[in-house]
Structure 1
Amino acid sequence: MTDDSRAVRRRSLALLGSLLAPVAAPAWATVVLVVLAQLAAVAGPLLVAYGIDSALPLLDEGGDARPVVLASAAYLVLAVAGGLLAAAVVRASARVSQSVLLDLRGRLFRHTQRLSLEFHERYTSGRIISRQTSDTDALRELLDGGVTTLASSALAMVFTAVSLAVLDWRSGLVLLIAVVPGVILTRWFQLRSQRQYRLNRTAAARLIVRFVETMTGIRAVQGFRREERSAREYDEAAEVYRGTSAAAIRVNGVFDTGLTLIGNTTVAAVLLVGGLRAFEGDLAVGVLVAAVLYARRFFAPLAQIGMFYNSFQSAVAALEKLSGLLAEEPTVPEPAHPVALEHPRGDLRLTGVEFGYGSGPVVLPRLDLHVPAGQSVALVGETGAGKSTIAKLLARFYDVRAGAVLLDGIDVRELDPLDLRRAVVMVTQESYLFSGSVAANIALGRPGASRAEIEAAARAVGVHDVVTAMPQGYDTPVDKRGVRLSSGQRQLVSFARAFLADPAVLVLDEATSSLDVPGEALVQRGLRTLLAGRTSIVIAHRLSTVMGADRVLVVDAGRVVEDGAPDELAVGDGRFADLHAQWRASLLR
């Protein structure tokens, strides 16, 4: 085992230990119930032996029926008690497992929310869904019945072997000899199933990822007529999953058949050896019957232990992935001693900023920039020039490699995260709307806002009439991603959300790109209201939006190559002048 494998194993065990620690008491209570259930089950053959060898002769010799009645009654009581204890084990283990899974799901959700934007941009949504579904289900299968099955099976084998050895050591020796091929077969099964189940889990995860990504991007799939290709790729993933599942089933089939053969052979051997001894008077008939019952009972738990190994391997693989996700650390950590910013003005300054994504190349080599409070700045440039990167740094979705981003003279890495999020709001072209009403989506900007404040925000950006024309007005539900609204309407709702939040700094990253031409005038009026009196950073390809800014920065390869008022730059001979001329020419066509 490599050092990395050991580290992963330790990390997984630490996670499991932290999940089990809060439920230690009910877990130990479950163990006690398992022990009692197996003691009740193993006592049955002993009572049979007593009834045949001791109770029946007394009935035949003296007519005393009490021993037979007592043996039968005791057997019945133990059978009922064993059933009740088995049911109690199922309930107790279910309570423990569901408590553990509730804790785990909560941890995964909270931790995934806490991780930085960098993580979410490289970790696909399909993989996250797989962690929350198939991987937690694998752990559920282990905890719901796997652990108690292992404990019950192991105790059943130990109690059975000990009882048979005490009852008749020669029959116990026959059983001991038969254990050897059973253990060899079980070990073979463990090695084979470990490999097969890892392949199966990987194939299942890839199938889920393929399905989720296709359905998430269904518009692109249909728009570019990729249905057949997507179907082929999905079929290939499904075929791999089918193949790994079939291989795992074949391994199970060999194990089950071999174990059944060994068990039946052992029963026959115990019956043969014990029968010859009983014929010679060296073994009581009742003991022989009990020995046969114990031999039949011994190998069923061994099969359950082998099957447990399947669940165990699947759960181990899932636990490694889950612990890996929970081990991810935010690349944008919260400050150790956060600085409060109760009344932000919106003064922005970037000093000596150097940045690159992850361990990748530098995309902002060195940037110095000052945006006074209340100033509106537009960033323009080619795709990949670094405009959105600057916006993400201002909102602290990423941290700089060198230099600092200051808000009102305070490094954003030291600001209280809540104060920073209230002071700086970013609106992107995605304009994501959550399931719920239009009012609830607008109120996301300031939870607890009154209906009057929500409507005032909608009026300010020009979306009030659109909302009131809907079937239920502000109570109209929007589906996931706001599919009941057009892209322009969703963007206007996101503007209302930002207006209601009333930040000191507003960052618009291509926020007007989805708007149609007829609605552009309305949107421009809404933007003027939205941007008035606050610092704003506007990234837009629409020069109608850019021309309304106080200042334009032309960005190229992470550097500011032009800086000035839009009217002044438009009449110059730089890059912005070229863009302005192209825009004017497009208006005349």
Structure 2
Amino acid sequence: MTDAAADWRGIAKEDETVTATGNLVLAGRSRRLLFSLLRPYRKLAAGALALVVLDNAAKLSMPLWIAYGLDQGISGGRQGNWTPLLTAVIGFIAVTLLGGLTTYSFLRASGTLSQRVLFDLRVRAFTHTQELSVSFHENYTAGKVVTRLTTDIDALQELLEGALNQAMSALLSVFTIAIILIWLDPTLAMIVLAGFVPLLIATRWAQRRQRAGYRRTRGAIARVIVGFVEAMSGMRAVQAFGREERNLEVVGVDDRQYQQANMTAIRGMADYVGISIVLQYLTTVLVLFVGAWSVIEGDLAIGVLAAYLLYLDQFYGPLDELAQVFNAYQSAAAALEKISGVLEEKPAVPEPSDAVPLGNSRGSIELAGVSFGYHADRPVLPTLDLVVPAGQVVALVGATGAGKSTLAKLITRFYDPSAGAVRLDGIDLRELANVDLRRAIVMVTQEAYLFSGTIADNIRLGRPDASDAEVRAAAEAVGLASFVESLPDGYRTDVRTRGGRLSAGQRQLVGFARVFLADPSVIVLDEATSSLDIPGERLVQRALETLLRDRTAVIIAHRLSTVAIADRVLVMEGGRVVEDGSPAELVTGDGRFAGLHAAWRESLV
């Protein structure tokens, strides 16, 4: 394996080793998911099943009408009695028309059923994924989520829209034809049923082989999509550093694994179909030989033999269809395993069942005996006690890995502490409803994420019902209005994907306007100016002063110019607060902050 391929193993790597017990658990989980999706549409599903039964009965009666026409119609016609022949013709036409009508009705019913089920599944999966905690999304890559919502659901769609019809019809056909074959001639039926023994063995063998292949395809295609998503999202870096060939090599490894997994499943399908065809032709030859002998001996009517051969063809035809359905089923089952796995994920920071009402938040923050680590054996915050009074602006400074961002994630409840409590206005964040928590505490990241749409739409993100006047007031408050009004479409300007039409500073100002309009009591800024140039930083700094006025704020800053607007500075090291004071107090001392400030001043010279 190349170094590039080895690197990629850390991205979206899925465990492909599944024990026999695990197979049962996954299969049960997949069935529960499918049944839960079908349950609201029981009547529609029952109606579709009734149509399949009626359609099956109509089509299976056709050889009987042919046999009746051959045995009774011909002999009756020789004697001048054409009624049996006309009856056979009319009966055949009637069941043909009935079969066409039931097939048409079933396809409409099954199409409606499948689309409703797939719509519900997409909504359920998307809704549940959004409700999962940040910790899930930091470990479960975006490419894998996209795979669950696209290609995995497409595999289920193939089963529901086409294969399900074939499966139900084929199963009914096999069962009904088996009974008819026994009724027509038990001796010939024994020959047919004897061929089932090797066919069942081949089916079980192919089932295991295809299941393993399709399970690997779901994992492999997820890794391929992860590669595509990351390459397209980071195209500037890809082209800037000439990473195209390396990306091709990396994605190529997963693409080849996807191809090999598909080939395993396809070979299993081909082997099964080949074996079933050989068994079908051998059985047909034996039935023809024994049946012809019985006709010659006078023990069997020629019309019955003709009907028997027609039914035999219809008997193995559904078996071939079942093989195709089985192929689609294995793919859909593997996809359902992955989707059901995501749906069974629980939020790491669950919403309380009996939430405490927050009311009008003052914005005081308290961390009491808080400890936290992303891994149990590696604490990031050993023990931390901190009180931030309402309306105070606190700056967090320190080296990378000191615990600043972790502290911010705890204050915004992206994570819950391993021990201790984080409180807002004296209420543990774990006791607050999400709607109250997100209304009171808002985080602004290093790069404000803008969604496709207009500038006004992005400012309204926290308050979708805000009026145009309120949107303009928010933009004016943070110094964005003059820029927006200079654009031809003003606030209706489309920012394009991820705000690509705007500069970094302009995107950050849109983010500030968004927060200003949402009007939280607590704002957490995670290096909100670190990616800006000096003019952009000055513009954003002025907006910050307006945004933070009369609000509690926690600012993570590497640029110490941002610290100047803070009332209080906390210097962090190893997850602990090692210095605490006002910027003026700390800069005149001989501690760590004074050293950081001196180094920053020298860097400006």
Normalised to the residue count of structure 2, the TM-score between the two structures is 0.94
Quickly say closer, same or farther: Cα 1:570–1:130, change in 2 above 3 A.
same
1:23 aligns with 2:41: yes
Following TM superposition, by how much is the alpha carbon of 1:478 offset from its aligned partner in structure 2, in angstroms?
1.4
> Which residue of the partner structure matches residue 59 of structure 2?
41
| 8 Å Cα contact 1:443/1:454 also seen in 2 | yes
> Which residue of the partner structure matches residue 591 of structure 2?
574
> Which residue of the partner structure matches residue 141 of structure 1?
158
Following TM superposition, by how much is the alpha carbon of 1:508 offset from its aligned partner in structure 2, in angstroms?
0.6
- Higher mean alpha-carbon deviation, 122-131 vs 83-92, is at 83-92
1:353 aligns with 2:370: yes
> Which residue of the partner structure matches residue 10 of structure 2?
none
1:151 aligns with 2:168: yes
1:564 aligns with 2:566: no
How far apart in 2 are the matches of 1:146 and 1:334? Answer: 40
Secondary structure class of the residue paired with 2:421: strand
Following TM superposition, by how much is the alpha carbon of 1:3 offset from its aligned partner in structure 2, in angstroms?
5.0
1:171 aligns with 2:175: no
| 8 Å Cα contact 2:209/2:264 also seen in 1 | no
Following TM superposition, by how much is the alpha carbon of 1:529 offset from its aligned partner in structure 2, in angstroms?
0.7
Following TM superposition, by how much is the alpha carbon of 1:252 offset from its aligned partner in structure 2, in angstroms?
2.4
How far apart in 2 are the matches of 1:114 and 1:216? Answer: 24
Could you tell me which amino acid in structure 2 is paired with residue 31 of structure 1?
L
How far apart in 2 are the matches of 1:5 and 1:278? Answer: 51
How far apart in 1 are the matches of 2:193 and 2:141? Answer: 52
How far apart in 1 are the matches of 2:91 and 2:68? Answer: 11
- Higher mean alpha-carbon deviation, 455-464 vs 82-91, is at 82-91
> Which residue of the partner structure matches residue 466 of structure 2?
449
Query: Which residue of the other structure, out of 514, 524, 535, is the alignment partner of 1:497?
Result: 514
Quickly say closer, same or farther: Cα 1:13–1:360, change in 2 above 3 A.
farther
Query: Which residue of the other structure, out of 457, 466, 478, is the alignment partner of 1:461?
Result: 478
Following TM superposition, by how much is the alpha carbon of 1:5 offset from its aligned partner in structure 2, in angstroms?
4.4
Alignment of 1:156-305 (within 5 A): 156-305=173-322
| 8 Å Cα contact 2:403/2:574 also seen in 1 | yes
1:546 aligns with 2:577: no
- Higher mean alpha-carbon deviation, 274-283 vs 573-582, is at 274-283
Could you tell me which amino acid in structure 2 is paired with residue 363 of structure 1?
V
Secondary structure class of the residue paired with 1:413: helix
Could you tell me which amino acid in structure 2 is paired with residue 42 of structure 1?
L
| 8 Å Cα contact 2:396/2:556 also seen in 1 | yes
| 8 Å Cα contact 1:189/1:306 also seen in 2 | no
1:129 aligns with 2:160: no
How far apart in 2 are the matches of 1:255 and 1:7? Answer: 26
| 8 Å Cα contact 1:197/1:310 also seen in 2 | no
Quickly say closer, same or farther: Cα 1:241–1:10, change in 2 above 3 A.
closer
Could you tell me which amino acid in structure 1 is paired with residue 134 of structure 2?
L
Quickly say closer, same or farther: Cα 1:534–1:199, change in 2 above 3 A.
closer
Following TM superposition, by how much is the alpha carbon of 1:17 offset from its aligned partner in structure 2, in angstroms?
2.2
Following TM superposition, by how much is the alpha carbon of 1:169 offset from its aligned partner in structure 2, in angstroms?
2.0
Secondary structure class of the residue paired with 2:380: strand
Alignment of 1:333-348 (within 5 A): 333-348=350-365
- Higher mean alpha-carbon deviation, 353-362 vs 52-61, is at 353-362
Secondary structure class of the residue paired with 1:538: strand
1:109 aligns with 2:126: yes
Secondary structure class of the residue paired with 1:431: coil
| 8 Å Cα contact 1:37/1:81 also seen in 2 | yes
Quickly say closer, same or farther: Cα 1:450–1:360, change in 2 above 3 A.
farther
Please give the per-residue CA displacement for 1:420-439, whole angstroms capped at 9, x wherever unaligned. Answer: 21111110013100111001
Secondary structure class of the residue paired with 1:212: helix
| 8 Å Cα contact 1:491/1:514 also seen in 2 | no
Quickly say closer, same or farther: Cα 1:12–1:248, change in 2 above 3 A.
closer
How far apart in 1 are the matches of 2:501 and 2:404? Answer: 31
How far apart in 1 are the matches of 2:256 and 2:435? Answer: 48
Following TM superposition, by how much is the alpha carbon of 1:230 offset from its aligned partner in structure 2, in angstroms?
0.3
Secondary structure class of the residue paired with 2:534: coil
Quickly say closer, same or farther: Cα 1:552–1:317, change in 2 above 3 A.
same
How far apart in 1 are the matches of 2:415 and 2:257? Answer: 38
Following TM superposition, by how much is the alpha carbon of 1:140 offset from its aligned partner in structure 2, in angstroms?
1.7
Following TM superposition, by how much is the alpha carbon of 1:203 offset from its aligned partner in structure 2, in angstroms?
2.2
Secondary structure class of the residue paired with 1:515: coil
Secondary structure class of the residue paired with 2:195: helix
Normalised to the residue count of structure 1, the TM-score between the two structures is 0.96
User: Unaligned regions of 5+ residues in structure 2, if any?
Assistant: 1-18
How far apart in 2 are the matches of 1:2 and 1:304? Answer: 28
Secondary structure class of the residue paired with 1:434: coil
> Which residue of the partner structure matches residue 445 of structure 2?
428
Following TM superposition, by how much is the alpha carbon of 1:145 offset from its aligned partner in structure 2, in angstroms?
2.5
Following TM superposition, by how much is the alpha carbon of 1:477 offset from its aligned partner in structure 2, in angstroms?
0.6
| 8 Å Cα contact 1:101/1:136 also seen in 2 | yes
Following TM superposition, by how much is the alpha carbon of 1:505 offset from its aligned partner in structure 2, in angstroms?
1.0
Following TM superposition, by how much is the alpha carbon of 1:2 offset from its aligned partner in structure 2, in angstroms?
5.3
Quickly say closer, same or farther: Cα 1:209–1:160, change in 2 above 3 A.
same
> Which ranges of 4 or more aligned residues in structure 1 deviate by more than 3 Å?
1-10
Secondary structure class of the residue paired with 2:161: helix
How far apart in 1 are the matches of 2:222 and 2:433? Answer: 38
How far apart in 2 are the matches of 1:7 and 1:188? Answer: 20
> Which residue of the partner structure matches residue 5 of structure 2?
none
| 8 Å Cα contact 2:505/2:537 also seen in 1 | no
Following TM superposition, by how much is the alpha carbon of 1:479 offset from its aligned partner in structure 2, in angstroms?
1.5
How far apart in 1 are the matches of 2:211 and 2:421? Answer: 50
How far apart in 1 are the matches of 2:95 and 2:377? Answer: 68
Residue identity over aligned pairs, in percent, reads 52
Secondary structure class of the residue paired with 1:196: helix
Could you tell me which amino acid in structure 2 is paired with residue 47 of structure 1?
W
Please give the per-residue CA displacement for 1:502-556, whole angstroms capped at 9, x wherever unaligned. Answer: 1111111111112211222222111111111111111111111111211111011
Following TM superposition, by how much is the alpha carbon of 1:328 offset from its aligned partner in structure 2, in angstroms?
0.8
Please give the per-residue CA displacement for 1:265-314, whole angstroms capped at 9, x wherever unaligned. Answer: 22222222212222232221111111111111111111122222222222
Could you tell me which amino acid in structure 1 is paired with residue 454 of structure 2?
S
Secondary structure class of the residue paired with 1:436: coil
> Which residue of the partner structure matches residue 437 of structure 1?
454
Please give the per-residue CA displacement for 1:437-469, whole angstroms capped at 9, x wherever unaligned. Answer: 001101113221111111111111111122122
Quote the RMSD (CA, aligned, Å). 1.6
Please give the per-residue CA displacement for 1:240-287, whole angstroms capped at 9, x wherever unaligned. Answer: 222232333333223223322222222222222212222232221111
How far apart in 2 are the matches of 1:182 and 1:3? Answer: 26
> Which residue of the partner structure matches residue 70 of structure 2?
52
How far apart in 1 are the matches of 2:364 and 2:221? Answer: 51
How far apart in 2 are the matches of 1:11 and 1:186? Answer: 23
> Which residue of the partner structure matches residue 515 of structure 1?
532
- Higher mean alpha-carbon deviation, 426-435 vs 272-281, is at 272-281
| 8 Å Cα contact 2:51/2:105 also seen in 1 | yes
Following TM superposition, by how much is the alpha carbon of 1:358 offset from its aligned partner in structure 2, in angstroms?
5.1
How far apart in 1 are the matches of 2:538 and 2:588? Answer: 24
How far apart in 1 are the matches of 2:132 and 2:210? Answer: 35
Secondary structure class of the residue paired with 2:561: helix
| 8 Å Cα contact 2:269/2:327 also seen in 1 | no
How far apart in 1 are the matches of 2:513 and 2:150? Answer: 35
User: Unaligned regions of 5+ residues in structure 1, if any?
Assistant: none
